[in-house]
């Protein structure tokens, strides 16, 4: 088993969206503080101190 912080191109279609429920309806979760799609979008770098 191989683990990734960022998904390779050939595996990105396996990532399911983060959902939340409003009333009786499910919708894709959106957050302005960070990109919830970071495993498949962005710079693909993570700096930690």
For 16-44, the pLDDT digits (tens) are: 888 999 899 999 888 888 777 777 877 77
CA distance 49 to 46: 10
| pLDDT surpassing 70 at residue 49 | no
pLDDT on residue 20: 92
Question: At a CB cut-off of 8 Å and minimum separation 6, what does 30 contact?
Answer: 36
Higher pLDDT, 2 or 13: 13
CA distance 10 to 23: 35
What DSSP element (H or E) covers 25? Answer: strand 25-28
Rounded to two decimals, what is the model's pTM?
0.49
Higher pLDDT, 21 or 7: 21
pLDDT on residue 25: 96
């Amino acid at each position: 088993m191989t683990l990734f912080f960022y998904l390779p191109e050939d595996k990105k279609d396996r990532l399911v969206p983060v959902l939340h429920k409003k009333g009786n309806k499910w919708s894709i979760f959106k957050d302005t503080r960070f990109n919830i799609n970071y495993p498949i979008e962005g710079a693909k770098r993570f700096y930690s101190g």
